[in-house]
Structures are given as structure tokens and as C-alpha cells.
Amino acid sequence: MIDKYYPYQQRYKILGGPGCGKTTKILNILANYIKGGLKPDQALLIGFARATVKTLQEEVRLSSKELVKQDLAREAATEQTGKTPPKIKNWDMQLRGLQEKATEIDAPEESLPTFRLKNNLENFCYNTRVSKDKKKILLGRPYEDDTAIRFTFNDFFKYLKADDWNITSDLTHQMLKKIPGVTREKFHIKEGVKRWVYVVNKEKFEEEPEVKQDVPNFSNNESAF
């Protein structure tokens, strides 16, 4: 993924199936260039299909609230394009018609929060500086014995935040508890010192069960397009 500002004249290859956001990513890259000082008339975007070019020219983003109310949708379109679209009769009925014709598709597994959490958990437990000394837990490092890996939530949550994790700590706790092989206990680290830690059972965790997609909706302002 390309999410930050990159030097001009850089070449990119953005791979993905239909509707996954390739055109949106191109627009985001262009927006970052403009923020960095590039003038709009210095940019040239081309496409093999007329539909792609039309999207680049006319793309308008509406939140769910703006989509439901035509007045808000027209106002948002005016702000984004400088043109006010004509009023449409039976807006609500047309929206319902689009919803009825829509085809539901599953999101790619790697885009699911549960998948990201499990992947980050695996990296944190196996690819960071795992220690055989349980006192190192106090320094933020996972502790490993023959059967399990233990770590404190706060240290893992800091690791998640560094990867642009935007889910609250409470919801992250709930999600961790649903991962097979992950439990929580109060762990004796040294004399007089105990901490609540998560325990990853290595055998059960490495079975790689299918990631379920019943993840709660964490955003109240999702884009409709």
C-alpha cells in the first residue's frame, strides 16, 4: 500500500481486482503530491478505459449520512467538483433499487481487523525480541517458555498503534479473547510482582484456524463510494 508522500516521477504498480480501490489510491497519491507542492496542472493521469478516466474526473465521495439525504449529497458534490448536480426524482426509491440490485461480496481476508490482529500478534510474539527471561516482560518484551508466549496488553497495544491500528483498547481486548489459543492470566514475574498477561498457546495458535468475518463495524462515517 502507498499511503505517504513519495518523490515525483516515481513509478508505482498497484495490483488488485475490480472495485478494490486502485483508482482511489491513485487519487490519494496525487493529493499527497499536491500537498507537497505539486501544482495540479503539472499532473497527468491517463487510463486505458473511458470509465476509469471519467471516475478520475468526476469522483465524489459521500458519507452514509450524505447519501441518504439528497440535499446533503448535492451539497457535498458541489463542494468537491464545483458543479451542482440536478435534482433527482424519487431519490429514496432509487437508492432502495440500487441496494436491492447490489451484489454482496466478502472483503479480502487480509483487510479484516481480525486477520490484521492475528498477523500482528504472530509478528509480535515470534519476530520481536522474545526473551527466555520472564522479568523482561517488565521491559515490554514477550516471554517464551516451552509451551507458551506471554506478554502484557499495553506493550502489544503500543505495537499495534505503530501499525496504524485505530480500534479501541476495549474492542482489541474482546478480539484477542476470541483468537484460538489465546487466554489471559495473572502471572508471577518475580517476588512481589504480578501482572495480567495474555498467554499464547503455541500449539493451538499455530493451527491457523479460519478467520471469521463477524467483526463489528468500528466506523460511524463510512464512505459510500
pLDDT for 223: 42
Amino acid 141 reads R
Asked if 202 and 149 count as a contact pair (C-beta separation under 8 A), the reply is yes
Question: Which residues of the chain carry a pLDDT beneath 50?
Answer: 1-8, 211-216, 218-220, 222-225
pLDDT for 79: 79
Nearest 5°: the CA angle 128, 203, 136 is 35
> Model confidence over 82-127: pLDDT tens digits?
777 778 788 788 777 766 766 665 656 666 788 889 989 999 988 7
pLDDT for 224: 38
pLDDT for 29: 72
CA distances from 196 to 152, 155, 193 (A): 7, 12, 10
Three-state DSSP at 219 gives coil
Model-wide pTM > 0.85: no
When the candidates are 1.10.287, 1.10.10, 1.20.120, 1.10.155, the CATH number that belongs to 110-205 is: 1.10.10
Question: Residue ranges per domain, the chain?
Answer: 1-59, 61-105, 110-205
Beta-strand pair 143-144/193-201? unpaired
